[in-house]
Structure 1
Amino acid sequence: MAAPVPGLEQILEEPQTYDHVRHKIHGLRLSNARALASSSRSSATEDVGTLIPKLPDSVALHCLARVPRSALPLLRCVCRSWNRALSTNTRDIASVRREIGTAEPWIYLSFSPRGDCIQSQRSSNYFTAFDPGSNQWHSVGWLPGLERLEVLKGYGCVGLGGKLYVLGGTLCIKERDFGGGCHRDLRVRSEVLAYDCIGGRWKQCASMRKARVDFACSVSGGRVFVAGGRGRLDHENAAAMASAEVYIPELDRWEELPDMSITRYKCVGVTLKGKFFVIGGYTIETLHRSSVEIYDPSERRWERRPGMWALDIPPYEVVELQGKLYRSGDQLNHWRGSIDVYDERLKMWKTIRGSNRRLGEDLQCTVRRYVTMAGIDSYLLFFGGHCRVGDRSGDHRPFCLETVDAFQAPVGRWCGLDPFRSSCRELCSSCCVVTA
């Protein structure tokens, strides 16, 4: 017979209270959490409104903040006060987690079903999160506000203050086809959604001043910066924009910034040393496609640096890691076979020794569908989707096989994680790191 679930007061009376709370709660299943809640309610009546009976809320917050991020949904089921602290008033616990060093970086990716899977699932965007600390995937859920068969693509995605921000993009209608790539564009959006990674809730934020798709975005100094992109889907170059704006989260307000020197779309945004870099992109003047615009928030002005990208094709992703910029491909080929780092002294991109690799090289009979990368600590993590053909019972329908490869930039060493099979799906945008 299984041992009874201990009451909350019993856990707190054991020695090494904080560690025991963290490990006990992390190991409980949802059914045990309900039993724990019912057993602790009677003792909680003595001190109504506190997080943990007979403990100041400031100390109780430190107890909750030490629980692993993956167990936070479980904690919300324990009692109403915990649910309130972890769902509504998340700013306090988020600041405590940052203060005591328990905040964890997770990588968020958005997918939509492909091919036959469209008929069995909703075809709007859904998010998953990868925890590099435990090598585990966690389901986040569907992006709210989209109807069946509607897909959001070309949007911006940034992490700030424990929240995942989804900015603008193109709303498309996804039609059933076995190739999975047929879309009919509807409109360009200006709407902004924020996902509270601790509270597990989506929230509608103030919309951008202009609708944008294929634009640059990044975070600097607690602000979200966006620039360039297209406001319409027709006449690509003619619809490109030079405008920029900044989002102030505490005021839920967008403010206009000075325009860039030229229009750009399919450009990439990244922050380096507090400055907002808008790299490459398609422009009316082909000569400027290799240039970069740099915005200095302290001086509120742009600086154009010619030749920094050095390619006519716009970048796909550029990642900042430990004060350096890294790239691995462009809009035509997301993975070019190696990793480049930008040398600020020589003003040029250099291939990192030991970075040459064919991602997913251990997989057989696969065709790579996408590669997206993120930077955490000293590692660059690459997420690859591979389309594989099955041969059982004459079944030749493709499914998606994800792989995660990590490259330790200073050492120049690769390490691969085990691939896993998933339902047939496609990536909707680049990945995004959120620390909470």
Structure 2
Amino acid sequence: MLRKHRYLRWVFTLLFVVASSSFAGGWEQVTTLPTWRFAGPAAAVGGKIYLFGGFDHKKHIGGRGAALSTVDVYDTQTNTWHAAAEMPTPRIAPRTAVFSNQIYVFGGYDYKGRWGVKRYHKTVEVYDTQTDTWVKKPDMPTLRIPFATAVVDGKIYLIGGTRIEVNKNGVFARKAITGLVEVYDPLTDRWEKRADMPTARSVSDAVVVDSKIYVLGGLVRFGGDLAGRFVTRIEEYNPKTDQWHQLPDMPMFKFGFLTVAVGNEIYTLGGINNEIKDTDAVDVYNPTGKKWHQIEPLTIPKLIMAAVANGKIYTLGGIIGDFKFSPIVEAFDTGFRAVTAKGKLLTYWGELKAENQK
């Protein structure tokens, strides 16, 4: 019996290694965006990637386009697109978080009137991927952009960003970078405050690995030379203890990158390097070993949107120098496979800017 157990374990281990290595590969173009959507976030649920809001770069080169309410859905299994129910509040640069089969869309802005005055939103709306319907939720307690989001143990964390003060018409008055952390409980519809992030920053990403939140890089000041406004700092937050811990800085300088987590590794995609040029680098960080390595670079240096589904990283369009837009969607198979306790079957697994609970 013991010999049989050892044999089966050896066979399973061999199959796992072969499957993982055979699935891993380089970047592959899979499709193009149906809408040249920019500043619209992506979220993945059940093998489908949802793109929300933003503006149409094809119609409004250089920005200041009308905020979109449309939602494009990409099915990674069939390689097809379809439209979902439109977002009730059109907005640019909102943030998303996934809880169960629902996608929460937070904040953002739009332009009002003939002169395109920017208006900021505290709006929170949730999209149900199973019923294709929207429901309004309690507003964000604090008006801010562009903050980071993460989901741990069924709660949604909003982290950092730039606090915005507006006049009675909702028009910008003043701003300040913040380390504020607020948490929303979808089950009770209530907001609570948590310990501030030690480094106040904006334009950063947060990802979840082993139920801890990691925030990498970000904007810390508005003035001075462009490179001097950003940091390479990494901070780890433990929701159970409500405590932050500083980790070694990123060894490379870049900002404006997109961050996703797959398994126990954090992928930083693209961005702008210390020469103030778009970079194609994909740097990967393992929080457990506190080590970095690189994988195959992006095919084109660009500022991108990205999501993870079925163990693959998808880059969804992006800006290429001089504000030119690329509608190309590419996929990179990380080769990661999780073993389920039930039946010990090889399955795909992925994560977007947060813990995707299915």
TM-score, structure 2 length as denominator? 0.67
Alpha carbons of structure 1 residues 258 and 196: separation in structure 2 relative to 1, 3 Å: same
Match of 2:238 in 1: 296
Q: Which has the larger radius of gyration?
A: 1
Higher relative contact order at CA 8 Å, sep ≥6: structure 1 or structure 2? Answer: 2
Alpha carbons of structure 1 residues 299 and 133: separation in structure 2 relative to 1, 3 Å: same
Alpha carbons of structure 1 residues 123 and 344: separation in structure 2 relative to 1, 3 Å: closer
Alignment of 1:260 with 2:197, yes or no, is yes
Map residues 20-59 of structure 1 onto 2, 5 A cutoff.
Answer: none
Q: Identify, as 1 or 2, the structure richer in strand.
A: 2
Query: Percent of counterpart pairs with the same letter?
Result: 22
Q: Which amino acid aligns with 1:218?
A: A
Match of 2:348 in 1: none
Map residues 6-405 of structure 1 onto 2, 5 A cutoff.
Answer: 104-110=46-52, 111-114=54-57, 116=59, 123-146=67-90, 152-173=91-112, 184-187=117-120, 189-232=121-164, 239-284=176-221, 289-307=231-249, 309-330=250-271, 336-344=279-287, 347-352=290-295, 355-359=296-300, 371-384=304-317, 402-405=327-330
Quick one: distance in 2 between partners of 1:349 and 1:235?
Answer: 41
Quick one: distance in 1 between partners of 2:316 and 2:113?
Answer: 24
Match of 1:410 in 2: 335
Quick one: distance in 1 between partners of 2:278 and 2:289?
Answer: 24
Per-residue displacement from partner, 1:275-310 (whole Å, max 9, x unpaired)?
Answer: 112222111496982212221111111112241x34
Quick one: distance in 2 between partners of 1:292 and 1:107?
Answer: 28
Q: Give the CA deviation at 1:345.
A: 6.1
- The gaps in structure 2 that reach 5 residues or longer are 1-44, 166-171, 223-227, 337-351
Q: Check conservation: 1:214, 1:266, Cα contact below 8 A.
A: yes
Q: Which amino acid aligns with 1:105?
A: G
Q: Give the CA deviation at 1:350.
A: 1.7
- The gaps in structure 1 that reach 5 residues or longer are 1-102, 147-151, 177-182, 360-367, 388-398, 412-429
Q: Which amino acid aligns with 1:126?
A: T
Q: Give the CA deviation at 1:193.
A: 0.7
Alpha carbons of structure 1 residues 433 and 134: separation in structure 2 relative to 1, 3 Å: farther
Alpha carbons of structure 1 residues 204 and 155: separation in structure 2 relative to 1, 3 Å: same
Tell me the secondary structure at the aligned position of residue 164 of structure 2: coil
Tell me the secondary structure at the aligned position of residue 96 of structure 2: strand
Q: Give the CA deviation at 1:123.
A: 4.9
Q: Give the CA deviation at 1:433.
A: 9.8
TM-score, structure 1 length as denominator? 0.56
Q: Check conservation: 1:322, 1:377, Cα contact below 8 A.
A: no
Aligned residue pairs: how many?
Answer: 280
Q: Identify, as 1 or 2, the structure richer in helix.
A: 1
